């Protein structure tokens, strides 16, 4: 069984930005509205944060419920974990996700600044430096044979793409433009030299882009 | 967690037939060629019968690998299990799937003719009569809280649809016409009074139809 390195359910604007600028504690996506970017996933029956029954069970639901399928570890950038910059001032901040983070695996947070690992429910956060290949080695080992998710943001995905370490990507292009922000790409065509691509429009308005290595 | 009743990865021709006529031991799909009907799934990385590495990891792969996701039991018609008609003459026939059937759960085979249960690897076949609601009750209990798959053929799916017992359906319409055979529908529009529908064309040529209850 191949151990894959996957990007899953990563959302960008039509102009290719995964987040806006000026990230703060209250605005993890900066000037971008995550409600708009993630509306397609939030409407599905499988959305992990769903509080009421119901939800759609069409195409978007397949992609949403595949999020945890055979994933054994996640790698995320420091800005996905926290709005802080520089050395950790305290260790009270434990991410945006509350006591039950939606990862359920070891998570490796890329940072130049040391910090002890900690566990919330069935998610353990580790803080690691090094280049993408080094971090991926740690994550693959922790994943116990399962796949490794590159969780974003856009800068982290770009770093792993530039090191040619990604096997598959699912990127949902939301029907919104941001103008500026943290860019994943100018165009999905940039990846076509290395990846096959299925472009799959959804009735929700997003266009799913499914890449796999040639 | 809702326990769903699902049709998954069921393939029909453009004219709505799930199988051809004149089923025999050598031709489980009658005059239809299963190689043509299932080419889209066989080309994916997740196809269970894949013998060589590789395979596509786009849209068709998502649908193929969701086949076993949270499924705790399957219900199938007698003609999916066997080409025999009438009382079982012997018990040597154990289905088309060899020593490792791809179900990995209890399977309830609809038949008017008694036969003892048997187990191959992690699949146990039970032979049951009664109306769809009765059989579904058995399957739900055996599924231990997981979902129940209605595995086909078309006649069995129709029976469960007519009894209004199906929550979601994934039907792949293959780019082939059969002219006659075992019909699932004249048109997918027949289900629109009771189901939402996402129609999702794939680059492989099949058109996925994803229905979920209104």
- What per-residue confidence (pLDDT) applies to A2? 86
**Helix, coil or strand: residue B125:** strand
ipTM confidence: 0.92
Beta bridge partners of B169: B7, B211
CATH of domain B5-22+31-85+101-213: 3.40.430.10
Say whether B99 sits in a helix, a strand or coil: coil
Which residues make Cβ contacts (< 8 Å) with residue B92, sequence separation at least 6? none
Sole residue written with tokens 């929550």: B167
> What is the pLDDT, as a whole number, of residue B1?
65
* Predicted model pTM: 0.94
Cβ(B65)–Cβ(B5) under 8 Å? no
> Chain A contacts of B168, Cβ < 8 Å?
57
Whether A58 sits inside 8 A of B202 (CB atoms) is: no
pLDDT tens for each residue of A11-64: 999 999 999 999 999 999 999 999 999 999 999 999 988 888 899 999 999 999
Q: For B80-110, how does the pLDDT look when each residue is reduced to its tens digit (9 = 90+)?
A: 999 998 999 889 999 999 999 999 999 999 9
Percent share of chain A, pLDDT over 90: 94
Instruction: Residue A69: list chain B partners with CB under 8 A.
Output: 65, 69
CB A191 within 8 A of CB A16: no
Average pLDDT over residues A93-117: 95
Q: Do B212 and A57 count as a contact with CB atoms less than 8 A apart?
A: yes
Q: Which of A173, A171, A150 is nearest to A161 (CA)?
A: A150
Closest CA in chain B for residue A48: B1
Integer CA distances (angstroms), A187 to A28, A171, B110, in order = 24, 12, 52
Q: Pick from A53, A202, A212: which is nearest to B57 by CB?
A: A212
A1 has pLDDT over 70: no
Q: What is the DSSP letter of B158?
A: H
Whether A66 and B62 lie within 8 Å, measured CB to CB: yes
C-alpha span between A188 and A186 (Å, rounded)? 7
- Phi/psi of residue A97, nearest 5 degrees: -105, 5
* Residues of B whose CB is below 8 A from A169: none
For A5-20+31-86+100-213, which CATH superfamily applies? Dihydrofolate Reductase, subunit A (3.40.430.10)
Is residue B61 classed as helix, strand or coil in its secondary structure? helix
Task: Provide the residue ranges of all domains of chain A, joining segments of one domain with +.
Answer: 5-20+31-86+100-213
- CA–CA dist A36, A29 (Å, integer): 11
d(CA A133, CA B123): 41
Cβ–Cβ contact A56 with B under 8 A: yes
Q: For residue B90, what pLDDT is reported?
A: 86
Q: What is the pLDDT of residues A56-104, one digit of tens each?
A: 999 999 999 999 999 999 999 999 999 998 999 889 999 999 999 999 9
Distance from CA of B58 to the nearest CA of A (A): 5
Is A53 at the interface with chain B, CB within 8 A? yes
Which positions in chain A touch B57 (Cβ < 8 Å)? 167-168, 196, 210, 212
pLDDT, one tens digit for every residue, chain B (214 residues) = 689 999 999 999 999 999 999 999 999 999 999 999 999 999 999 998 888 889 999 999 999 999 999 999 999 999 999 999 899 988 999 999 999 999 999 999 999 999 999 999 999 999 999 999 999 999 999 999 999 999 999 999 999 999 999 999 999 999 999 999 999 999 999 999 999 999 999 999 999 999 999 9
Closest listed residue to residue B178, CA positions, set B208, B154, B203, B211 = B154
* Distance in Å, alpha carbon of B203 to nearest chain A alpha carbon: 7
CA dihedral A135, A136, A137, A138 (to 10 degrees): 60
Who contacts A165 (Cβ-Cβ below 8 Å, separation ≥6)?
A5, A132, A133, A136
Q: How much is the pLDDT for A188? A: 98
Answer whether B58 sits within 8 Å of A2, measured CB to CB: no
Q: How far is A136 from chain B (nearest CA, A)?
A: 21
Q: Which of residues 127-166 of A touch B (CB under 8 A)?
A: none
């Amino acid at each position: 069984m191949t151990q894959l390195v996957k990007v899953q359910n990563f959302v960008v604007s039509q102009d290719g930005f995964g987040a806006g600028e000026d990230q703060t504690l209250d605005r993890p996506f900066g000037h971008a509205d995550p409600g708009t970017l993630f509306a397609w996933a939030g409407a599905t029956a499988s959305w992990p944060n769903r509080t009421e029954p119901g939800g759609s069970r069409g195409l978007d639901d397949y992609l949403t419920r595949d999020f945890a399928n055979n994933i054994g570890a996640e790698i995320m950038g420091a800005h996905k974990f926290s709005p802080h910059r520089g050395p950790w001032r305290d260790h009270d901040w434990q991410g945006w996700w509350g006591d039950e983070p939606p990862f359920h695996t070891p998570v490796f947070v890329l940072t130049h600044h040391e910090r002890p690992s900690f566990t919330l429910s069935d998610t353990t956060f580790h803080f690691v430096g090094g280049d993408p290949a080094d971090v991926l080695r740690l994550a693959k080992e922790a994943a116990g044979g399962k796949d490794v998710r590159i969780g974003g943001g856009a800068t982290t995905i770009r770093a792993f793409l530039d090191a040619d370490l990604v096997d598959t990507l699912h990127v949902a292009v939301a029907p919104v433009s941001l103008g500026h922000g943290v860019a994943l790409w100018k165009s999905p065509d940039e990846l076509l030299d290395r990846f096959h691509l299925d472009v799959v429009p959804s009735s929700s308005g997003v266009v799913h882009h499914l890449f796999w290595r040639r």
